[in-house]
Amino acid sequence: MKNFGILFTRKDTAELVEVPMPEPQAGEVRVKLAIDTISSGTERANLTGVPDGGVGIFAVGDSDAVTWPRQCGYSNSGIVDKVGAGVDNIKPGDRVALSWAKHQEYVCVPAGRVYPVPDGVSLSDAALAHIATFPMAAIRKCRLELGEGVIVMGQGVLGQLAVKLAKAAGAAPVIAADPLSAKREEALRLGADFALDPSSPDFGAEAKRICRSEQTKIFGRVEMSGPQVGIEVTGVGAGLDSCLDAIAPFGRIALLGCTRNSNFSIDYYHKVHGRGVTLVGAHTACRPTNESAPGWWTERDDALAFLRLVALGRIDLAGFVRETYSPKECGEVYARLAKDGAFPVVQFNWEETK
């Protein structure tokens, strides 16, 4: 039986190639993927060879050296094919969502990273479960409260999910921000209350006006308070700087985007220190391993929570995925990703490999 995977074989180039068939070890599950979601930010960085200083999941050691081939993928769904010794809560034929499985037809992952898909939830929606845990963790770490305003900087797949999750959590209003008009239109279609261009000179003032907040006096200076929570997903310094212009005094900003380039400056004294703003590191790896606590949930608990929200209709994902392709089309798909800033939410359907 053959197995196939998508590899980045050189800069800006993806190919579908034959790869070894994995055999589940003790505590592992082998799954035949059905649906596979592209995480455009992470995958563009790896596809184009952006050095990550040893902090990324595809780095080797502490070196910035970019090596090939690379294999991405981490949010998927499929059907259990085989289980290893000691796995008794999952069986062949089960529909499951996965965390950290590569773009590969047959994959083996630890049983703890395999989540049963509730009845009524499609495998397409389930393939978003893992990537949805990223903005879920960011929102939790900011301790969002019912009725607080939220601004989400960047409207890629993570930003779009952050908008939906913030709305489900009771944020009011939910403001999406992106310099691309197509992304702003998409954010409004997906449920954002407002969509703003962060490159506009009055961006911060407009975000504060939308929130209709009370005036706050800090160091004798009066200002409008604005959204209390910011989710920064752009991964660029300008995104954080703009978010600080919009955020309320004493607000909380989650740094969800991976800011790989540190060559930027922030007026921390006036924008952070003097306004009592909290910056929260929200890389998805920064979470408890075994037991959830308020504001700090495990990856597994977040994934299961997302699937429950979808099953109960709290999160509506109709029309969220804009395009679906066969893995055989990966070359064209990734060539587009390398160049297209307005890349939509895209999935691969592994049933179309034959």
Burial 338-354 (b: 16+ CB within 10 A, else e): beeeebbbbbbbbeeee
Range with lowest mean pLDDT among 12-26, 106-120, 217-231 = 217-231
- Is the link from the previous residue into 135 a cis peptide, with omega within 30 of 0? no
Residue 34 has pLDDT above 70, yes or no: yes
Domains of the chain: 4-128+321-352 (3.90.180.10), 132-281 (3.40.50.720)
250-275 exposure pattern, b = at least 16 Cβ within 10 A, e = fewer: ebbbbbbbbeeeeeeeeeeeebbeeb
Q: Count CA atoms closer than 13 A to 174's CA, side-chain side.
A: 29
User: Dihedral of CA 326/31/165/341: which sign?
Assistant: negative
Structure tokens at 300: 């597994």
Amino acid at residue number 352 = E
Reported as half-sphere exposure (CB side, CA atoms, 13 A), residue 338 has a value of 17
Alpha carbon distance 342, 228 (integer Å): 28
Q: How confident is the model at residue 352 (pLDDT cuts 50, 70, 90)?
A: confident
3-state secondary structure of 109: strand
Q: How far apart are CA 319 and CA 134, in angstroms?
A: 21
Q: Which helix (H) or strand (E) holds 18?
A: strand 13-18
16 beta partners: 6
Q: For residues 123 and 31, is the Cβ–Cβ distance under 8 A?
A: no
Asked if pLDDT for residue 342 goes beyond 50, the answer is yes
Where do we find the tokens 């961006």?
203
Q: DSSP per residue over 192-258, as a string?
A: -SEEE-TTSTTHHHHHHHHHTPPEEEETTEEEE---SEEEE-S-SHHHHHHHHHHSPTT-EEEE-S-
Residue type, 198: P
Residue in the block written with tokens 């509506």: 316
In terms of Cα–Cα distance, which of 55, 73, 61, 67 is closest to 5?
73
- The owner of tokens 């009845």 is 119
Determine which of 120-124, 136-140, 179-183, 256-260 has the lowest per-residue pLDDT on average. 256-260
> What is the widest separation between alpha-carbon atoms in the chain?
72
Strand 174-177 with 194-196, pairing: parallel
Q: What is the pLDDT of residue 320?
A: 97
pLDDT at position 221 is: 61
Average pLDDT over residues 312-337: 97
When pLDDT is averaged across residues 12-32 and rounded to a whole number, the result is: 98
pLDDT, residue 241, reads 95
Task: Give the mean model confidence (pLDDT) for residues 162-170.
Answer: 98
* Its pTM surpasses 0.75: yes
φ, ψ of residue 165 to 5 degrees: the values are -70, -40
Lowest mean pLDDT, pick from 51-65, 67-81, 298-312: 51-65
**Residue 282 confidence (pLDDT) above 50:** yes
**Number of residues written out for the chain:** 354
Q: How many CB atoms lie within 10 A of CB 15?
A: 14
pLDDT greater than 80 at residue 193 = yes
Tell me which of 43 and 54 has the higher pLDDT. 43
Q: What is the pLDDT of residues 330-339, one digit of tens each?
A: 999 999 999 9
Mean pLDDT (whole number) for 119-138: 98
Are 43 and 72 contacting, i.e. CB atoms less than 8 angstroms apart?
yes
